[in-house]
Amino acid sequence: MTNSIESKTANEVICATLSDAVKTTPDLVVLTSDSRGSAGMTSFISDNPANSIETGIAEQNLVTVAAGLAHAHKRPFVFSPAAFLTMRSVEQVKVDVAYSKTNVKLIGISGGNSYSNLGTTHHSLQDLAITCAIPNLEVYTPADQFETRALLNYLIHSKKPAYVRVGKRKLDNCYPKDWSTFVPGKANILRNGADICLISAGETLFPTLQAASILATKGIEATVVDLVSIKPLDTELLHKLAQKFNLILSVEEHSIINGIGAQIATIIAQHAHAKLKILGFPDEPAISGTQDEVFAYYGLDAESIAQKAILSLKG
Amino acid sequence: MNTIELQKKALTIREAVWELIYSAKTGHTGSDFSCIDILTALYFDVLQQTPDTFGKPETDTYIQSKGHAVEALYETLALRGYFPKTDLNNFSGFKTHYIGHPTNDIHGIEMNTGSLGHGLGLGVGVALAAKMDKLTKKTFVLMGDGEQAEGSIWEAAMAAGNYHLDNLIGIIDHNKLQISGSTTSVMNSESLASKYTAFGWDVIEINGNDMTDLLDALHQDNLTSKPRLILANTIKGKGISFMENQANWHHKVPSESQYLEGLNELKAQKEALEND
């Protein structure tokens, strides 16, 4: 962890990385649906008007136009709240992007529970389930500024369609500042311990790391894995972990239905004996509150994760 | 190519589509026949595209939003030399690429369509890219009239007007029928001309089964700084008397006697043209 470095939002990192990349990648195009401010892309659009397209509040057309641009050899990055991008536009994502294999990068901003007090209309707690079920589409959710930067540098050069879920708030640092590794289908082990394996991705990775620190004070050593690449999944590592550990705990800012935990469960059920506990959002409209309050209510804060681990180990 | 030659091509395509659907026992028969003249005009006269230049940045783009009329597109592309006609022998068969809607696995097909309401937005993206790259190419999108009920069409129409995409040509195959009946009875989208005009388009209304009308409209210079809509009034099932204007021929497969009768009608039309 790199706590001495100021934390940043994913949006800040994405804007800076694309602003830099467009200087040498003139085919890069940013599309927004009245979402430039929410996406933190205002400076990119002001500085690069010829590389920016506004579609208005029309998320279906946002995705389809991006697919048309990609078909005509552009490299579109599409920004819209994850809740709308993965539901309002899901058929456009399935047909125009994934099925047609157009090189569109879909950036779902303010994902998960970022818009905590704005209600279910603005929550995207099913986006990973939806996007992972679409063939030809890669799905990623980075955890901090350094991983976001590494991921973006991959996406800029990749020719494959991808969906990326990022949150709204400043991300606590989980990686060293010079982290530049991003490999599709490759998870990262951030901490090694023999007693329990904790797997997370995105904004719940940091409280999961904190939970491992709490557990260490109680003599429980945890391995912590950042899945980051939700599709393709690092099945090789998951096989190994499922054979090595008796207990795996997954933590996610997503519905417990068909999210990260469910994907891990599929691997374990096929290949190993480990028990799995899935921590996430229950199958109900989420309560209102600050994001931290909501995380704590659903047991996704560091203390709750640690307690759940201890209880499960006693099991 | 002169008008008579194009009319002959259109009849050849009608014969091929009729046979393809009869052999495979599947297809969107009435929808194919209504737009075959439009496809013929595009692929044999208007489109600046050949099998060799297909897909190049400066080459014209054709997107078939009404993907269900894929048999018409397949036979047009085969006749134009994009792929051998024998490729269609396994049309809709086991593991074929030649399925019941367009896919870009096939040389000559730009985008995967079939779900309605996507093509115009794709066309907006391609036309925007051409503007960004200062290319003079044009983008053509063929839509159905029943398809006009899709909300995504109007998102795309608004964007095309907003961006003054005078390099984009939308064509509506306006045969006034859809699977459940007349377009006005299922969901009245009239007046399409005034709707597109209000969305910032230049609208030309023609007889979409008349080759002269089609060529005039498709070649007409656009000096308006607006996207152009060609409202092509057509007859669903055009060319075979018992199929014309019948909603139930939307995806009906001819019986043996209907097949032979239809084939005779098409042959008679071709002979009449030969004698002209």
Domain containing residue B256 = 3-274
* Element at A152 (helix H, strand E): helix A145-157
Chain A contact for B6, CB < 8 A? no
Give the relative orientation of helices B3-24 and B256-274 as an angle to the nearest 10 degrees.
170
User: What pLDDT is attached to residue A271?
Assistant: 78
pLDDT band at B275 (very low <50, low <70, confident <90, very high): confident
Cα-flanking dihedrals φ and ψ of residue A208, to 5°? Answer: -70, -40
Q: Shortest CA distance to A212 belongs to which of A281, A144, A298, A303?
A: A303
Within 10 angstroms of residue A270's Cβ, the number of other Cβ atoms is 10
The last residue of a domain, from among A171, A200, A227: A171
Taking 60 as the threshold, does the pLDDT of residue B215 lie above it? Answer: yes
Q: Please check whether residue A70 lies inside any domain of the structure.
A: yes
Could you say which of A60, A74, A99 has the minimum Cβ distance to residue B129?
A: A74
Q: Shortest CA distance to A48 belongs to which of B25, B132, B111?
A: B132
Q: Please check whether residue A213 lies inside any domain of the structure.
A: yes
Mean pLDDT confidence for B62-90 = 98
Q: How many domains does chain B have?
A: 1
Q: pLDDT tens digits, residue range B10-39?
A: 999 999 999 999 999 999 999 999 999 999
Chain A contact set for B103 (CB, 8 A): 99
Q: Calculate how close chain B gets to A104, using CA atoms only, in Å.
A: 12
Say if residues B212 and B45 touch (Cβ distance below 8 Å).
Answer: no
DSSP A53-100: EE--S-HHHHHHHHHHHHHTT-EEEEEEEHHHHTTTTHHHIIIIIIIT
Mean pLDDT confidence for A179-189 = 97
Residues sharing a CB contact under 8 Å with residue B108, sequence separation 6 or more, in sequence order: B51, B54, B77, B80, B82, B83
> Does one domain contain both A165 and A194?
no
Q: Please check whether residue A103 lies inside any domain of the structure.
A: yes
> Does one domain contain both A15 and A162?
yes
Chain B contact set for A96 (CB, 8 A): 111-112, 118, 121-122
Tokens of residue B6, six digits: 């194009």
Q: Calculate how close chain B gets to A141, using CA atoms only, in Å.
A: 27
Q: Shortest CA distance to B214 belongs to which of B174, B271, B181?
A: B174
Q: pLDDT tens digits, residue range B33-62?
A: 999 999 999 999 999 999 999 999 999 999
User: What pLDDT is attached to residue B139?
Assistant: 98
* Element at B166 (helix H, strand E): none
Chain A contact set for B114 (CB, 8 A): 95
User: What pLDDT is attached to residue A4?
Assistant: 78
* Residue appearing with tokens 């779902």: A108
Q: Shortest CA distance to A56 belongs to which of B145, B65, B199?
A: B199
Chain A residue with Cα closest to B154:
A61
CATH of residue B118's domain is: 3.40.50.970
Ramachandran assignment for B139, one of left (phi > 0), alpha (psi -120 to 50 degrees), beta (any other)? beta
ipTM for the predicted complex comes to 0.94
Q: Is B274 exposed, middle or buried (0-12, 13-18, 19+ CB in 10 A)?
A: exposed
User: What pLDDT is attached to residue A272?
Assistant: 81
> Does one domain contain both A154 and A272?
no
Amino acid making up residue A313: L
Say if residues B170 and B143 touch (Cβ distance below 8 Å).
Answer: yes
Mean pLDDT confidence for A46-70 = 98
> Does one domain contain both A141 and A216?
no
pLDDT band at A2 (very low <50, low <70, confident <90, very high): low
Taking 70 as the threshold, does the pLDDT of residue A3 lie above it? Answer: no
Q: pLDDT tens digits, residue range A200-212?
A: 999 999 999 999 9
Q: Please check whether residue A58 lies inside any domain of the structure.
A: yes
Chain B contact set for A50 (CB, 8 A): 132
Most A CBs within 10 Å, among B104, B111, B139, to test the A interface:
B111
Chain A residue with Cα closest to B130:
A72
Contact check, Cβ <8 Å, A73/B125? no
Domain containing residue A69 = 8-171
Mean pLDDT confidence for B236-262 = 96
Q: Shortest CA distance to B173 belongs to which of B19, B10, B62, B35?
A: B35
Most A CBs within 10 Å, among B49, B103, B126, B143, to test the A interface:
B126
Say if residues A249 and A305 touch (Cβ distance below 8 Å).
Answer: yes
Tokens of residue A89, six digits: 């536009």
A124/A141 Cα distance (integer angstroms): 13
Chain A contact set for B133 (CB, 8 A): 72
> Does one domain contain both A250 and A126?
no
Amino acid making up residue A273: H
> Does one domain contain both A202 and A120?
no
- Work out the percent of chain A whose per-residue pLDDT is above 70: 99
Q: pLDDT tens digits, residue range A274-289?
A: 999 999 999 999 999 9
Contact check, Cβ <8 Å, A69/B104? no
Most A CBs within 10 Å, among B61, B104, B122, B147, to test the A interface:
B122
Mean pLDDT confidence for B111-135 = 98
For chain B, give the longest Cα–Cα distance: 54
Say if residues A294 and A267 touch (Cβ distance below 8 Å).
Answer: no
Q: Please check whether residue A182 lies inside any domain of the structure.
A: no
> Does one domain contain both A40 and A137?
yes
> Does one domain contain both A146 and A215?
no
Q: pLDDT tens digits, residue range A12-24?
A: 999 999 999 999 9
- Work out the percent of chain B whose per-residue pLDDT is above 90: 98
In Å, what is the CA distance from B168 to each residue of A95, B68, B112, B173? 22, 22, 19, 16
> Does one domain contain both A85 and A208?
no
CATH of residue A57's domain is: 3.40.50.970
A291/A242 Cα distance (integer angstroms): 31
> Does one domain contain both A166 and A200?
no
Q: How many domains does chain A have?
A: 2
* Element at A245 (helix H, strand E): none
Could you say which of B110, B129, B151 has the minimum Cβ distance to residue A69?
A: B129
Could you say which of A65, A73, A99 has the minimum Cβ distance to residue B112?
A: A99
> Does one domain contain both A149 and A64?
yes
Mean pLDDT confidence for B62-78 = 98
CATH of residue A264's domain is: 3.40.50.920
> Does one domain contain both A132 and A237?
no
DSSP β-bridge partners for residue B205: B231
The last residue of a domain, from among A144, A171, A198: A171
